[in-house]
Structure 1
Amino acid sequence: MSVTSQDARASGPEAGPSARRWPALLVVLLAAFMDLVDNTIVTVGLPEIQKDLRATDADLQWVAAGYALAFALMLITGGRLGDVFGRKKTFLAGIVGFTIASALAGAAQGPETLIGARVLQGALAAVMIPQVLTYIQVGFSAAERPRALGQYGMVLALAGVSGPLLGGLLIDADLFGWDWRTIFLINVPIGAAAFLGTAALMPESRAEHTRRLDLVGVVLITLALVAVFYPLVQGRELGRPLWTFISMAAALPLLVIFVAYERGRTRRDDSPLVDLGLFRERGVIPGLVVALVFFTGGSFFFVLTLHLQIALGYTPLRAGLTFLPFAFGVIIGSGAATRLAPRAGRLVVAVGSVVMGGAVAGMIYTLHRNGAGLSPWNLLPAMVVAGIGLACVSATLVNIALARVSARHAGSASGVVNTTVQLGSAAGIAVIGTVFFSLLAGNATETAATVAVFLRSSEQALWVIVGLLGVSFLASFLLPSGPVKTGQAGQADETGREAT
């Protein structure tokens, strides 16, 4: 991507890379790690948050899903903000906003404040993250770029799997008596350090040919999704009043209006949020279906966290350690998928869906067999296998979905697929969380009965996830077949992720 600002020309690869590019990358990746880990670090803190803030079950869903939903809705726009106003300025603004949102979350005295802060965190993370890969594209020479991208990928993977463990460590340490608040307040000194380092080291750049912001499109798609998510999450506690069904039905006309508006902007070549022409490209729609359904399956963490800590009395740290083998599975699966995807193509996604479904079924068997005596060791095999399944899909899906997409639509299609992945994460907590809490509605007060009810509810909710992963398996065969082309590797899409 070309740049036009004076700073960018002086530091871009065409004019000779900046001598400060590697220290700058280290600081930028630190901020990116802070953003990405916050998507999962809250998971093991949910039971403590519920007790301290007297949060309802629906509040817990919003605390967990609000971040991912806001992140998804702002991801494409965040990339454009950097192109228009400058990547450094946008990144710094994101750091300041994210740090303030973290402080608000840590100081929250009620669930409403915490939910609002989490949504703000997600939106500002979406402003920051797209600038990271774009900085790598414009700040490093072609020879250096693979090394820089490798470091970015390592941070991305580490942040994705280390959240529960870091959350458990911080909560159990109970620094200054802050309990769960530490998982948010730790971002304040990290954010301050990242701001100072970025201000001193990161060069400025912006795109030569910028795409305008589509704020109307963002508002329309946000209204459509909220019309579904809000009644889905809140409806159970409110007794499913009529307005919840009217709200969900209203999502359809809102989507029709969104499509009509985007079609008009596409026709005028007026920088639409979503270029509707990309949906005519082979592989995009199946890719979106697989991304949405498969990543809904990641909500097993939400179910297991509540089961382990509320029903079985696990500490946050013990729960985090229970999830740690998942990270090793991701490492194993990523290596295998990288080697197999170029030859096996969509079969890697199909196998990944089956492996993940088998792992969740293994969790169900393990929970049922061990009951109240469940130990972290019992879940270790299923956690490793689940990590392998997730890595097989996440490491290859975007490549396969874009294998037949024209160069004109590659960046836009990749941005939409990555956004759908985040929506899948949010939808999983909304849908599976609602199923889980509905099953817990008759929870007893006695300890033995509570464990029994939790066990039955957890098993049934996890079976729903197995079913969704079965749908992902079937949908994977709609993806383009044949070897995966990698000629576009390293190109950045509108979200700042690789369009590969």
Structure 2
Amino acid sequence: MARHPLRWWALAVTVLAVLVDMVDNQIVSVALPTIQRQLGTGEAALQWISAGYALGFALTLITGGRLGDRYGRKRLFVLGMAAFTVASLLAGLAPQVGVLIAARVAQGIGSGLMVPQVLSFIFAEFAEDERPKAMTYYSAAFPIGGLAGPLLGGVLTEANLFGSGWRAIFLVNLPIGVLAVAGALLTMPARPHTAGQRVDPGGLGLLTAGLFAVFYPLVQGRELGWPSWVITLLVAAAPLFGLFAYQQRAHARRGGEPLISPGLLRYRGLVAGQAVMFSVNTAVGVFFVLTLHLQVGLGFSPLATALTFLPATLGIVVGNVVAMRMAPRLGRSFTAAGIVVLMVSLAAIAVLVWWLGMALRGWVLIVPEVGFGVGIGAVLNSLFGTSMAEVKPYEAGSASGVVNTTVQLGTATGIALLGTVFFSRLGSGFVAATAAAMAVSIGVLLLGLVVTAALPRVRPGGDSSDVAGGMTTGAAKR
């Protein structure tokens, strides 16, 4: 196949889109207390605003890759970017919180359609000698977005450009989105699509129902007073996921293409890696609680909060580098050590929060935050490698979709679970509520540490792929 003459320009456009996705995922966190004051939202609404993006993204990632194969990468990229841009406009103009939550979910869906096309584009349009350079540019979007998102959110919220306040964090996407759509139309090649790829609507419906049965009770149950129907809905999640697993196997036996290929379950590293990854990303949801603690409890400004979290983001970059050098040689021992670093760092933050109370200042948290970031970068990078190491090349796309979906679902679960713990204890004060949420987060990490025993041992002379290693900045902060 002839190399497309504009492939590098097209890469710049697609990487810009990934950067916007990363920034927008991060940018909302420090603006949440301001949104709550101005829209008069309830506590559960804050969880939906933050987790809605990750949920929409997770539900669309695997399907987005399939749709790109079936209808063409360029077409799906443009559609996803356009949907993301329109949803950003809707979020920026949202008159009330219900519209904002719907817009956040729509943003996630747009990203889920758009982002899978970027890796597919790189592997389809760049020769083997060009791919390392292309992947370097692609991977760079994640740490840059992780660094820029919270800072940009703090600056825009405080700057109150043209009286827009927090709305500017969404409206800033509009010119970039228009530029990305136009650039994709001009530079991306319109290759023939693969008509054989099918979408599995039954599997998608069951997965969506199962996730709704988990997240709705977790987020809304406390505000509703835990009525019996909410408990029943939560209990129904287990059979719904069981039915989803059965449907996926039956669909595969009939010759269909399930969302998650049952054949992937034979890879020990992938299955165990997802269990650990889900636990770690759930624990990272504690940053949602810390944001509220700093701004609402201690009176930090959005910008001051973003600067307080900056050391953790820098630590993630360091953790990535360490993992790429050491994880292939040490295997699950490295992953376990990274989780221990996470637990110790989080425990140190919890002690400082409890001990200093209202006298807590951002600079006091620098050392444990760096440690927390190093742990996140190291663990998630090593888990990406472990999860993909045994997978055959022809299954890499499906496995990558599963891994990234796990990251998003873990993030959404963490916000729902730890946010519920925090708000349920808020009557005892911000310090007690934050400490309780952090204790639960440490417990979730302990569970992940136990599960690392199920990870495969590193093979003598073997190597673990660091596929998507640079993506861990985004995963950790979502």
TM-score by length of structure 1 reads 0.90
1:457 paired with 2:433, answer yes
What residue in structure 2 maps to residue 162 of structure 1?
A: 148
What's the CA shift string for 1:264-321, capped at 9, x where partnerless? 1111221111112321322232112101111011112101100000011111000001
1:485 paired with 2:463, answer yes
What residue in structure 1 maps to residue 252 of structure 2?
A: 266
Code of the residue aligned with 1:474 in structure 2: it is V
Query: In structure 2, the residue corresponding to 1:213 is in which secondary structure?
Result: coil
What's the CA shift string for 1:47-104, capped at 9, x where partnerless? 0111111110000000000110111111000111111111111111111111110011
Change (3 A) 1:488 1:359: closer
What residue in structure 2 maps to residue 434 of structure 1?
A: 420
Q: Any residues of structure 2 matched to 1:250-265 within 5 Å, and which? A: 250-265=236-251
- Which of 465, 468, 472 aligns to 2:444? It is 468
Q: Quote how far apart the aligned CAs of 1:258 are.
A: 1.5
What residue in structure 2 maps to residue 246 of structure 1?
A: 232
What residue in structure 1 maps to residue 471 of structure 2?
A: none
The separation in 1 between residues aligned to 2:265 and 2:195, in whole angstroms, is: 24
Q: Any residues of structure 2 matched to 1:179-190 within 5 Å, and which? A: 179-190=165-176
| 395-404 vs 235-244, greater mean Cα deviation | 395-404
Query: In structure 1, the residue corresponding to 2:53 is in which secondary structure?
Result: helix
Query: In structure 1, the residue corresponding to 2:285 is in which secondary structure?
Result: helix
Query: In structure 1, the residue corresponding to 2:403 is in which secondary structure?
Result: helix
Q: Any residues of structure 2 matched to 1:52-451 within 5 Å, and which? A: 52-208=38-194, 210-407=196-393, 409-440=395-426, 442=427
Code of the residue aligned with 1:431 in structure 2: it is L
What residue in structure 1 maps to residue 472 of structure 2?
A: none
What's the CA shift string for 1:399-434, capped at 9, x where partnerless? 212333455644433321221111000000000000
The separation in 2 between residues aligned to 1:131 and 1:211, in whole angstroms, is: 15
> Is the contact made by 2:312 and 2:369 (CA closer than 8 Å) also made in structure 1?
yes
> Is the contact made by 1:401 and 1:479 (CA closer than 8 Å) also made in structure 2?
no
Change (3 A) 1:474 1:488: closer
Query: In structure 2, the residue corresponding to 1:204 is in which secondary structure?
Result: coil
The separation in 2 between residues aligned to 1:139 and 1:55, in whole angstroms, is: 46
The separation in 1 between residues aligned to 2:309 and 2:260, in whole angstroms, is: 36
| 256-265 vs 223-232, greater mean Cα deviation | 256-265
Q: Quote how far apart the aligned CAs of 1:436 are.
A: 0.5
> Is the contact made by 1:401 and 1:480 (CA closer than 8 Å) also made in structure 2?
no
> Is the contact made by 1:106 and 1:185 (CA closer than 8 Å) also made in structure 2?
yes
| 278-287 vs 53-62, greater mean Cα deviation | 278-287
> Is the contact made by 2:88 and 2:103 (CA closer than 8 Å) also made in structure 1?
yes
> Is the contact made by 2:328 and 2:465 (CA closer than 8 Å) also made in structure 1?
no
What's the CA shift string for 1:423-459, capped at 9, x where partnerless? 000000000000000001x26xxxxxxxxx1011111
The separation in 2 between residues aligned to 1:146 and 1:328, in whole angstroms, is: 23
> Is the contact made by 1:290 and 1:475 (CA closer than 8 Å) also made in structure 2?
yes
Code of the residue aligned with 1:387 in structure 2: it is G
Code of the residue aligned with 1:485 in structure 2: it is D
The separation in 2 between residues aligned to 1:489 and 1:64, in whole angstroms, is: 27
Q: Report the aligned-residue RMSD.
A: 1.8
The separation in 2 between residues aligned to 1:120 and 1:249, in whole angstroms, is: 27
Q: Quote how far apart the aligned CAs of 1:165 are.
A: 1.4
| 405-414 vs 34-43, greater mean Cα deviation | 405-414
Change (3 A) 1:117 1:197: same
What residue in structure 2 maps to residue 8 of structure 1?
A: none
The separation in 2 between residues aligned to 1:488 and 1:204, in whole angstroms, is: 30
The separation in 2 between residues aligned to 1:103 and 1:215, in whole angstroms, is: 29
> Is the contact made by 1:80 and 1:210 (CA closer than 8 Å) also made in structure 2?
no
What residue in structure 2 maps to residue 6 of structure 1?
A: none
The separation in 1 between residues aligned to 2:21 and 2:466, in whole angstroms, is: 27
> Is the contact made by 1:278 and 1:284 (CA closer than 8 Å) also made in structure 2?
yes
Query: In structure 2, the residue corresponding to 1:240 is in which secondary structure?
Result: coil
Q: Quote how far apart the aligned CAs of 1:239 are.
A: 0.5
Query: In structure 2, the residue corresponding to 1:39 is in which secondary structure?
Result: helix
TM-score by length of structure 2 reads 0.94
Length, aligned pairs only: 468
Identity percentage of aligned residues: 46
What residue in structure 2 maps to residue 11 of structure 1?
A: none
The separation in 1 between residues aligned to 2:21 and 2:190, in whole angstroms, is: 21
Code of the residue aligned with 2:167 in structure 1: it is R
Give ranges in structure 2 of 5+ residues lacking alignment.
469-474
> Is the contact made by 1:350 and 1:476 (CA closer than 8 Å) also made in structure 2?
yes
The separation in 1 between residues aligned to 2:225 and 2:356, in whole angstroms, is: 34
Change (3 A) 1:189 1:379: same
Q: Quote how far apart the aligned CAs of 1:358 are.
A: 1.2
